[in-house]
Structure 1
């Protein structure tokens, strides 16, 4: 399991056709107004749905990252459509309208993402973030020069979802702003950043 719309079978990465789930680091707003990790939730739901069953996939294309784009099923259930119908993913209209009816059903029933508010995954990857999330007790967005609790290393998440840390004095440091509401964070040491899954630029 890679994320909510990508799996790996025998070393081959397979991206689900027509469905776009939130990115692993993406957060959304639930019906209660609280932020939650919607990308992680989609991946866990998909993992639970598959369980130990065999997945069968029909290839439709190869994407720019050299992943197979396919329609996949488990025990006769179309996984692509199931994700969209349960509200864990959106119909990826840019690449097909196969799952628009499932998205409409999820929207009307307020399932998954539709229970609250969210940024579409394709916009989130371009750097847009949900702005209606209630502001916690301390600010979630820092200006480029601010420091959290004396820890000065900035743990940024790129538009592609890559976790990259920036050290004071580095080229991108001053212009990098940290949005904790989007999963970004501050680190006190490089070891801490690496242990949390961030990498150097």
Structure 2
């Protein structure tokens, strides 16, 4: 059974998997709509990932591991590419593989593109997690 960890990673059984070529807002990250309303874009991305994973059988094709030991993979569920779906719905940015989907989401002002947000990497750089907590959390698949 697959479980969403956040908007760009999941667990398949005991295996931690990071979706290739996307970066979703962090769980604690907020975004701002053009009208000034703040929304929890990180939680929205995680919730959408959870809904996708619950919609069918998840099939992941590993392409290596990242620095945290997670599998880097392209995953599909019900014939839908999870990375493409997250980017096309404006809940993740493309890291090269989904430029067309990102351009369409930007043009339609979907999700994070409907207002102001910090790119997930920039947000992480501005909100570093203490290393001790990261080591402790890694035991839980975070």
Which range, TM-score by smaller chain?
Answer: 0.7 to 0.9
* Partner deviation per Cα, 1:113-151 (whole Å, 9 max, x = no partner): 001110000101101xxxxxxxxxxxxxxxxxxxxxxxx
Secondary structure of the 1:26 match is coil
**Pair member with larger Rg:** 1
Using a 3 Å threshold, how does the CA distance of structure 1 residues 160 and 99 change in structure 2: closer, same or farther?
farther
Q: Deviations over 1:57-89 (max 9, x none)?
A: 001120000000100000000000110010000
Q: Is it true that 1:71 corresponds to 2:71 in the alignment?
A: no
Match of residue 31, structure 2, among 28, 31, 50:
28
- Tell me whether 1:56 sits opposite 2:59 in the alignment: yes
In structure 2, distance between residues paired with 1:38 and 1:29 = 9
Is 2:43 the counterpart of 1:40? yes
* Structure 2 portions without partners, runs of 5+: 134-142
Equivalent residues of 1:126, 1:160 under 8 A apart = no
Q: Distance in 2 between matches of 1:33 and 1:27?
A: 12
> Which has the larger strand fraction?
2
Q: Secondary structure at the match of 1:126?
A: helix
For normalisation by structure 1, the TM-score amounts to 0.61
Separation (CA, whole Å) in 2 of partners of 1:41 and 1:32: 18
- Give the 4+ runs in structure 1 shifted more than 2 A: none
Alignment partners' CA distance in 2, 1:55 and 1:85: 19
Q: Is the 8 A contact 1:3 1:24 kept in 2?
A: yes
Structure 1 alignment gaps of length 5 or more: 128-157, 165-201
2:119 matched to 1:120? yes
Bigger mean CA offset, 51-60 vs 108-117:
51-60
Stretch of structure 1 that moved more, 42-51 or 82-91 = 42-51
Task: Count residues with an aligned counterpart.
Answer: 129
| Residues 25 and 161, structure 1, Cα contact 8 Å, conserved in 2 | no
Residue pair 1:14, 1:69 contacting (<8 A) in 2 also: yes
CA RMSD of aligned residues (A): 1.6
- The one of the two structures with greater contact order (alpha-carbon pairs below 8 A, sep at least 6) is 2
Q: Which has the higher helix share?
A: 2
TM-score by length of 2: 0.86
